[in-house]
């Protein structure tokens, strides 16, 4: 490249090229990555395991007036449903910062017998009722002011971090009308952070230890957000229009899928951050990519062929 692309070219693309094209490309790429991903998560049960969460990306309101979040602050939200089979995002939705997490969760179509792990922000008894009737299981944290009565007390496994395991019914009139089904409350002691965690679920057959492990594995979605923010820099944007911002976020998500694809294909055992760093350092070197990701210290750069024509002396 003799010179960098002009700003006007980039500006025109950010303004005119529809971001929906990148969303379609993301899901096309996701399909190829899912073919390579493990078909089972690390748990013994066969249910599909998912994690649901959102991450807020702060913006300057003066530069992004369309993304108003608070009076002096702008933001967009990246809503994500992570499939634990390969830890790939199976659903992505981007909204302005003021959109409530539950609003997005209500519009999801989740297959029956799936298990969704999520944080306390998704506490919505009407949603819990619908999922219970559709045979969708959830594991989340209880509200601090939840009103309920204990219907049945279950035996607690010995020498584990389970403090109590109870079947409950909601006693608050509005809550009971929204969710008349029996739920299950499990109290777990988090030794690492020296605290008690109260879990709420509608799965009545799994052991309490398994329910606690499901919620713990929800941390993988936090790691996904951390990876995309640190490695692909979606905190700083090259355009201020809604279209430009959406293009950059979807492009970052595509790059994350491609990187995870390379990580899965490699025999070297890359960490995601190291692979991103090494790819960045080698962008302008000629290498056999498939050989290099298996043996990064042994595969030398290829010498580009000369373009100089020979003068044919006879």
pTM: predicted TM-score of the whole model, two decimal places: 0.85
73: in domain: yes
User: Under 8 Å CB-to-CB from 185, ≥6 apart: which residues?
Assistant: 142, 148, 164, 165, 166, 167, 168, 198, 199, 200
Q: Are residues 130 and 278 in the same domain?
A: no
Task: Give the pLDDT mean for 128-132.
Answer: 94
CA pair distance 243, 94, nearest whole angstrom: 12
Are the C-beta atoms of 107 and 43 separated by less than 8 Å? no
Print burial letters for 289-310: b (CB count within 10 Å at least 16), e (below 16): eeebbeebeeeeeeeeeeeeee
Q: What is the pLDDT of residue 254?
A: 94
Which structural domain, as residue segments, surrounds residue 291?
268-308
Token readout for 207 is 């052991």
Which residues are 115's β-sheet partners? Answer: 49, 137
- Of the two residues 313 and 187, the one the predictor is more confident about is 187
- Is 74 contained in some domain? yes
Same domain, 238 and 282: no
Whether 89 is covered by a domain: the verdict is yes
For residue 192, tell me if it sits in a domain: no
Q: For 49-106, what is each residue's pLDDT tens digit?
A: 999 999 999 998 888 989 888 888 899 999 999 999 888 999 999 999 989 999 999 9
Q: Are residues 91 and 228 in the same domain?
A: yes
Q: 52 and 118 in contact (C-beta within 8 Å)?
A: yes
Q: Which residues is 81 bridged to in the sheet?
A: 52, 91
Q: Is 172 helix (H, G, I), strand (E, B) or coil?
A: coil
CATH number where 242 lies: 3.30.420.10
In this structure, is residue 79 part of a structural domain? yes
Distances (CA, A) of 264 to 124, 271, 294: 37, 11, 11
Q: Is 121 exposed, middle or buried (0-12, 13-18, 19+ CB in 10 A)?
A: middle
Same domain, 260 and 273: no
Any domain includes 181: no
Cβ atoms 261, 279 nearer than 8 A = no
How do residues 218-234 score in pLDDT, each as one tens digit? 999 999 999 888 887 77
256 shares its domain with 292: no
Domain count, the chain: 2
Round to whole Å and give the CA distance between 169 and 175.
10
What is the predicted pLDDT for the residue at 250? 95
* Per-position DSSP letters for 183-251, written without gaps between them: EEEEEEEETTTTEEEEEEES--SS-HHHHHHHHHHTHHHHHHHHHHHHHH--SS-S--SHHHHHHHHHH
Whether 201 contacts 186, CB under 8 Å: yes
User: How high is the pLDDT of residue 189?
Assistant: 92
What's the pLDDT band for 214 if we cut at 50, 70, 90? very high
The Cα–Cα gap between 169 and 183 comes to: 6
Q: What is the pLDDT of residue 3?
A: 78
Mean pLDDT of the chain: 89
Q: Do both 45 and 103 map to the same domain? A: yes
- The pLDDT assigned to 314 comes to 65
Q: Is 223 found in the same domain as 130?
A: yes
Same domain, 273 and 298: yes
Token representation of residue 173: 């009139």
d(CA 8, CA 5) in angstroms, rounded, equals 8
pLDDT at residue 39 in the model: 66
HSE-up of residue 94 (Cα within 13 Å, Cβ side) = 18
pLDDT of residue 38: 67
pLDDT for 1 equals 66
Across the range 154-161, mean pLDDT stands at 88
Residue 91 lies in a domain: yes
Burial (0-12, 13-18, 19+ Cβ within 10 Å), 111: exposed
Residue 119 and residue 44 in one domain: yes
Residue 115 within a domain: yes
Asked whether residue 303 falls in the same domain as residue 225, the answer is no
Top-confidence residue, 187 or 267: 187
Same domain membership, residue 253 and residue 237: yes
What one-character DSSP code corresponds to residue 302? P
Distance from C-alpha of 120 to C-alpha of 146, rounded to nearest angstrom: 12
Instruction: Specify whether 48 is located in the same domain as 120.
Output: yes
Sign of CA dihedral 258, 252, 222, 203: negative
């Amino acid at each position: 490249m003799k010179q960098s692309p002009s700003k006007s070219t980039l500006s025109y693309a950010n303004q005119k090229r529809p971001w929906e094209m990148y969303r379609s490309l993301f899901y096309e790429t996701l399909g190829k990555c899912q073919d390579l991903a493990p078909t089972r998560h690390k748990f013994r049960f066969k249910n599909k395991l998912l994690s649901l969460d959102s991450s807020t990306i702060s913006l300057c309101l003066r530069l992004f007036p369309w993304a108003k979040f608070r009076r002096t602050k702008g933001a967009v939200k990246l809503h994500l449903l992570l499939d634990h089979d390969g830890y790939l995002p199976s659903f992505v939705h981007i909204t302005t910062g003021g959109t409530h997490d539950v609003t997005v969760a209500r519009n999801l179509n989740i297959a029956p017998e799936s298990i969704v792990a999520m944080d306390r922000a998704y506490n919505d008894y009407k949603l819990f009722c619908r999922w219970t009737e559709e045979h969708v299981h959830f594991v989340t944290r209880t509200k601090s002011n939840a009103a309920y009565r204990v219907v049945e007390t279950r035996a607690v496994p010995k020498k584990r971090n389970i403090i109590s395991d109870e079947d409950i019914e909601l006693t608050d009139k509005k809550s009971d009308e929204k969710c008349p089904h029996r739920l299950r409350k499990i109290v777990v002691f988090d030794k690492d952070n020296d605290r008690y965690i109260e879990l709420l679920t509608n799965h009545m057959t799994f052991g309490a230890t398994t329910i606690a492990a499901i919620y713990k594995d929800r941390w993988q979605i936090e790691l996904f957000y951390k990876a995309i923010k640190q490695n692909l820099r979606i905190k700083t944007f090259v355009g201020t229009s809604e279209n430009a911002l959406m293009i950059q976020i979807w492009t970052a998500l595509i790059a994350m899928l491609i990187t995870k694809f390379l990580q899965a294909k490699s025999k070297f055992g890359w960490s995601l951050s190291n692979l991103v760093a090494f790819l960045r350092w080698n962008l302008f070197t000629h290498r056999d990519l498939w050989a290099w990701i298996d043996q990064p210290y042994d595969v030398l750069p290829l010498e580009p062929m000369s373009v100089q024509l020979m003068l044919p002396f006879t």
